[in-house]
Amino acid sequence: MRLFLFTCLLALTGPVMADALKIATLYPPGSLPLQQLQLASNRLKERSDGRLSLQLYPGGVMGDDATVLRKVRIGQLHGALVSASTLSSLGVDATDLSQPFQFATLDAVLEQRKQFDPAVRQRLDDQGWLGFGPIDGGFSYLMSQNPVSSLQNLKSQRLWLPNTDDVRKMSQALSIDYQIMGIGDVLPALQTGALNSIVAPPSAALTLNWHSRVDYLTDQPVVYTWGMLVLAQRSLRGISEPDRQVLAEVLSEWADELDAAMLASNMQANRAIRQLLTQVDFSSSDLADIQAGIH
């Protein structure tokens, strides 16, 4: 009995087991978002006296965004850092920042984000999710092996686009065909001629070496890209209210810091790719027709 009581006393006075929140993302190990998430985990552990931390699953090891969100729903993961296009599967409308050919300048995006950022976080909250972000992903541009300056040029391309709902709607509205393939297949397709043009942010084109297989950049932003860290509220029920507050504070700080860092990084990538590729102006009348057709 004495041994039993002593063991119980040790259990009551011993350290509280930490909650490691499992977070998945497509960002690879060593990338800026992963580096910043690890720093956030360290900060979280310190401010919660070791009760909370983040367990990270980078590089798509848990699957694509849609697969990851399914795992969050069934409790295998607590949350994920996902692209904006996946928010629609959570019942969240994010189209007021993600329409193709919606913005011409970054200043226009940043002005829109003043209202959009708190609004999208509230929309997530209404659906049972905590959202941290948005995180800047930069503009996507058309990059090609031959100059593309008109809608007719665009329709004749062997084109790769990210296969999102907005892109599918745009392609149908404009009668533009595009190839559907995984990110890892794009470079070989550019090398073999199966593709001759892509739409991507400069940072991705540089990181994935796609820029080495194209020669021209059409100087009209196609779509603004961004992401969010989302956590299922029900997955946090075992965490005390004070620790939830710490979690929200740390991840909000992380999102603000990463957004600023990514904004600077993507601007730098934009400048770099313009030194490597020849810039082409897109027909203003065709652009007006495109915008009228999809908005």
Residue 280 domain boundaries: 2-294
Output the pLDDT for position 273.
97
List pLDDT tens digits, range 30-68. Answer: 899 999 999 999 999 999 999 999 999 999 999 888 899
Residues 6 or more apart whose CB falls under 8 angstroms from that of 51 comprise 16, 18, 19, 243
- CA nearest neighbour of 27 among 183, 250, 168, 237: 183
Greatest alpha-carbon span in the chain: 88
> In terms of C-beta density within 10 A (0-12 exposed, 13-18 middle, 19 or more buried), how is residue 233 classed?
middle
Mean pLDDT of 231-251: 95
Can you tell me which residue has the tokens 């600023």?
260
Count how many domains the chain has.
1
List pLDDT tens digits, range 159-202. Answer: 998 877 777 888 888 888 999 888 889 999 999 999 999 999 99
Mean pLDDT for the chain overall: 90
H runs (alpha helix) in 127-240: 151-155, 165-174, 183-192, 202-207
List pLDDT tens digits, range 114-158. Answer: 999 999 999 999 999 999 999 999 999 999 999 999 999 999 999
Output the pLDDT for position 7.
37
Residues 6 or more apart whose CB falls under 8 angstroms from that of 35 comprise none
Rg (CA), the chain: 22
Mean pLDDT of 104-117: 96
CATH code for the domain in which residue 143 is found: 3.40.190.170
| C-alpha to C-alpha distance for 234 and 63, rounded to whole angstroms | 22
Conformational region of residue 59, where left means phi above 0, alpha means psi within -120 to 50, and beta covers everything else: left
Output the pLDDT for position 295.
63
How many angstroms from the chain centroid is the CA of residue 288? 28
| C-alpha to C-alpha distance for 30 and 82, rounded to whole angstroms | 17
CA separation, residue 118 to residues 115, 123, 130, 244, 274 (Å) = 6, 9, 12, 19, 33
Bridge partners, residue 79, by sequence: 23, 231
> In terms of C-beta density within 10 A (0-12 exposed, 13-18 middle, 19 or more buried), how is residue 143 classed?
buried
